[in-house]
Structure 1
Amino acid sequence: MKVEITKVDEYKRRLSIEIPNEIASKELSKVYQEINQKTEIRGFRKGKAPRKILEQYYKKDAEIKLLQRLVPQACDEAFKKNNLKIVGEYLLEEYAIKAGEALKLNISVEVKPEITLKDYKGIKIQKKPVDVSQEEIDNALTQIQHENAEVKSVESRSAQKGDEIIIDFKGKIDGKPFKGGEGKDFKVILGEGKMIEGFEYQLLGVKIRDRKEVEILYPKDSPNQALAGKKIVFEALVKDVKERILLPLDDEFAKDLGNYNDLNALKDKIREDVRVAKENYNKFIYQKEIVEKLLEENPFTPPPSLVNREFEFLKKNFTPNSSPSEASETDSGSERKKVEQELLEKANKRVRESIILEKIAEEEKIEVEDKEVDEEIKKRAESANQNFTSLKHLFKQSEAYEAIRNKIREEKVLNFLLDYFIIT
């Protein structure tokens, strides 16, 4: 098989492939034989029509079947023989099938960039503390105390700070409902400060079965630009008011929680949990900083097809903020363009990161075995209450299986780099 490669640009290659006539003609004869056995042509018994007659009716179909059989095999052979690391799908631009001549193909494809990484061992990172303060322990204890508070409905008094109320609500802007502005059996703890400023305060004093109109001004700096700075009126129905009774923080409280001998044992467990959480968070931050330094030290333009694929994936999985029904088309259009530009930049960065980490894995011979991928699929199957074999088969039929392998490999590379970075 003859192969000629032309460099179109930094990533695009055009391959001119010639499959020998003896191979192409033999396979084409098989195709016509199969067609002959399956079709009936007037004036001929099934399977007895001459080749020339078949060509009159089925030439195009036969050529398509021939290409479907020979092109993938020829491309794989050409890529391997010429050590081309392709990205995405190849494109058959032209082909020529002539009797007595080689089958000629023109294929275009994008290849992975050949990059030379700067020294990635010994990256300097600022150390982050893992000390656990008494204040952090006290805050965690208070949270546990509130989570385990006893609650009971109260009808004899109005809601006050610290109470838990259950409401149904509908929000409107200029008298019109908006997407995401409605909720049922919604729990609000008055004074907790988790709701938009002013929401909890206006519900102080309500009683069961009260209807209350709550008016708020959505923060101007809200990430939800469709609602930012707008006045929203919520119509709330109070379905229940519950008094929260906090239990004393003592040895009995700790024993009731679980396997703790006393309150000090609970505090020790909290201290250890906070320390581990900080270490895990620091590891995550270290990895992010390592990636940022790798991107900074190794600038290059990634293959457009990979960026476009990642961009489409991000766009497909992007969940836009709720937008009011009266938002103008102009606002929506400009916001959409802004979001798409941000997603495109994120896609570009992700692809560059993936290529760099893959290159390090290649240089350091960091690999992922099938059993490691299977273990991850088992975890996902158990989490989703699905059959492992069925889920694995589903992943194998798509790109998901290799995507999991890539994710595990990237994590391995980052852990490898963590062993070599320098804390300053």
Structure 2
Amino acid sequence: MQVTETSTEGLKRELKIVITASELAEKLDAYLEDLKGRAQIRGFRPGKVPKAHLKKLYGKSAMAEIVNTVIGETSNKALEERSEKAAMQPQIKLSDEDAEKILSGDLDLAYDLSYEIVPEFELAPVDGIAIERPVVEVADSEVEERLTQIAEGARSYVAREEGAAAQNGDRLTISYLGKIDGEPFEGGADDRAAIFLGQGRFIPGFEEQLIGLKVGDKKVIEVTFPEDYQAKHLAGKPATFDIEVFEVAAPGELKLDDDWAKTLGMDSLDALKDIVKQQIESQNGGQTRQKVKRQLLDALDAQYSFELPATLVEQEFNAIWGQVEAEMKAAGKTFEDEDTTEEKARADYRKIAERRVRLGLVLSKFGEREKVQVNEQELQRALIERARQFPGQEKAVFDFYRRDANALASLQAPVFEEKVVDVLLGLIKVTDKTVTKEELFKDDEEPAV
């Protein structure tokens, strides 16, 4: 194998790799020798097929297989000998015009290998990093509120006496037809829908205008869609709804006691309270983890500035931008609705892509230094969690990831990252800070990375 560097620019590398025809011929000879002992061809005894005959029958197909194997082996070997790590799968360019001669054994195998290397940088000390871990104490009132929500979901309703007017808290069964400028609009109609007065699940002003209605009543109500309504073609527009009432039902008694807890499979109300408190603590803990991780990543990002592989940045940007476009299309929004332009949005999201790539490289290097590994059990848990996202298709998901090494690596990457974060949190100063629930769940001003 002969390797010649043909171009170097920043992180970009281009190599010319040549494997002589004689080297390929030796590999073909060994291939045919092995095939000779296994081939079963009519007219020849096992193991007695002349090699020249095998070459005539299988020479080109065998050489094609050899060439593919050799390209894979030599490209990897070239990077190893140069002590370089490719940021992404290297690109291989082989002349189509030469392919026939190479397969016939009349020409050396020569191909171009282009790639970007992972940049070299020194890891900065982390012992000077100090972050605050926001924690929330779960109050008894929050547990009671969550219990009430659970009970509300299973509350029974009893039809009111004939002629009774609907009150706040009642459940109405109605049919409605929404119109804008006198014309029905998509998604604005339902038949015998359950409306819970006072829960604020509908457009502001909708539920309030149903109070006082009786079974059999028909009414036209007027509302205005909020300016920030998710369906932009309806946002801010006035609308009317034709209403017909079929039932008015009063809420049954809400009693939080041991008997009610037993209907949910618990031994007692106290046992249910413990479970609910644990669930709230788990939810808070997940948010605390995200806040802590964000602070850590911000601190790390401030420590590093080095050239990034353009291919990695472009790949990350395309993934982010594709998600942005899909979300905006689903919401019916434009960049103008977000007080920006596509050009500015692209620039902002490219910065996010660069940050993610930079931090990914930093975390990867820390992981190598600390010898962080993702074991089979952890990878299996990640695969199971992924399969759960596709109910009824679990087997197909398992088969897909087991067949595709790159897809499986995409599951391994976030597990590896979280383990590296755990290691780093053990190396820096972390102090707890009690905050309110609102503070804990307040969105960061910038998109999380």
Q: TM-score range by the shorter chain?
A: 0.7 to 0.9
* 1:275-328 CA-partner distances (Å, limit 9, x unpaired): 44333321232122212222232234532222332333345553335466xx99
1:196 CA drift (Å): 3.6
**1:406 maps to which of 401, 413, 436:** 413
| 2:209 is equivalent to residue 202 of structure 1 | yes
1:161 CA drift (Å): 1.6
* 1:247-281 CA-partner distances (Å, limit 9, x unpaired): 234454445444344x5555455444434433332
Corresponding residue number in structure 1 for 2:436: none
1:137 CA drift (Å): 3.3
How many aligned positions are there?
404
Contact 1:5–1:16 (CA<8 Å) still a contact in 2?
Answer: yes
1:157 CA drift (Å): 3.3
What SS does structure 1 have at the residue aligned with 2:135?
Answer: coil
1:105 CA drift (Å): 1.6
**1:157 maps to which of 144, 160, 164:** 164
What SS does structure 2 have at the residue aligned with 1:192?
Answer: coil
For 2:413 and 2:13, the matched residues in 1 are separated by 25
1:156 CA drift (Å): 4.1
Corresponding residue number in structure 1 for 2:82: 82
| 2:298 is equivalent to residue 292 of structure 1 | yes
Corresponding residue number in structure 2 for 1:41: none
Seen in structure 2, the aligned counterparts of structure 1 residues 423 and 372 have a Cα distance that, compared at 3 Å, is closer
For 2:11 and 2:144, the matched residues in 1 are separated by 57
| 2:351 is equivalent to residue 350 of structure 1 | no
| 2:327 is equivalent to residue 319 of structure 1 | yes
Corresponding residue number in structure 1 for 2:250: 243
1:409 CA drift (Å): 0.8
Seen in structure 2, the aligned counterparts of structure 1 residues 139 and 373 have a Cα distance that, compared at 3 Å, is same
For 2:307 and 2:225, the matched residues in 1 are separated by 41
For 1:168 and 1:308, the matched residues in 2 are separated by 51
Corresponding residue number in structure 1 for 2:373: 367
For 2:174 and 2:351, the matched residues in 1 are separated by 41
Seen in structure 2, the aligned counterparts of structure 1 residues 92 and 279 have a Cα distance that, compared at 3 Å, is closer
For 1:389 and 1:206, the matched residues in 2 are separated by 52
Percent of aligned pairs with the same residue?
28
For 1:238 and 1:336, the matched residues in 2 are separated by 47
Contact 2:382–2:412 (CA<8 Å) still a contact in 1?
Answer: no
What is the TM-score of this pair, normalised by structure 1?
A: 0.75
Corresponding residue number in structure 2 for 1:124: 130
For 1:295 and 1:180, the matched residues in 2 are separated by 46
Describe how 1:216-365 pairs up with structure 2 within 5 A. Answer: 216-221=223-228, 228-233=235-240, 241-261=248-268, 263=269, 266-317=272-323, 318-320=326-328, 322=330, 343-365=349-371
For 2:224 and 2:420, the matched residues in 1 are separated by 47
What SS does structure 2 have at the residue aligned with 1:408?
Answer: helix
* 1:193-222 CA-partner distances (Å, limit 9, x unpaired): 243422332343445676665544343355
Contact 1:216–1:233 (CA<8 Å) still a contact in 2?
Answer: yes
- State the one-letter code of the partner of 2:13: R
Corresponding residue number in structure 1 for 2:120: 114
| 2:73 is equivalent to residue 73 of structure 1 | yes
1:27 CA drift (Å): 6.2
For 2:85 and 2:16, the matched residues in 1 are separated by 17
Question: Where does structure 1 lack aligned partners over 5 or more consecutive residues?
Answer: 35-46, 52-57
Describe how 1:30-179 pairs up with structure 2 within 5 A. Answer: 68-93=68-93, 95=95, 97=98, 102-121=108-127, 123-154=129-160, 156-166=163-173
Corresponding residue number in structure 2 for 1:417: 424
What SS does structure 1 have at the residue aligned with 2:374?
Answer: coil
What is the TM-score of this pair, normalised by structure 2?
A: 0.71
For 1:342 and 1:267, the matched residues in 2 are separated by 45
Contact 2:133–2:291 (CA<8 Å) still a contact in 1?
Answer: no
Between 71-80 and 195-204, the greater mean CA deviation after superposition = 195-204
1:368 CA drift (Å): 0.8
- State the one-letter code of the partner of 1:89: Q
Seen in structure 2, the aligned counterparts of structure 1 residues 293 and 25 have a Cα distance that, compared at 3 Å, is same
Seen in structure 2, the aligned counterparts of structure 1 residues 280 and 290 have a Cα distance that, compared at 3 Å, is same
Seen in structure 2, the aligned counterparts of structure 1 residues 92 and 135 have a Cα distance that, compared at 3 Å, is same
1:402 CA drift (Å): 1.0
For 2:228 and 2:422, the matched residues in 1 are separated by 37
Seen in structure 2, the aligned counterparts of structure 1 residues 187 and 339 have a Cα distance that, compared at 3 Å, is farther
Cα RMSD between the aligned structures?
A: 4.6
What SS does structure 2 have at the residue aligned with 1:366?
Answer: coil
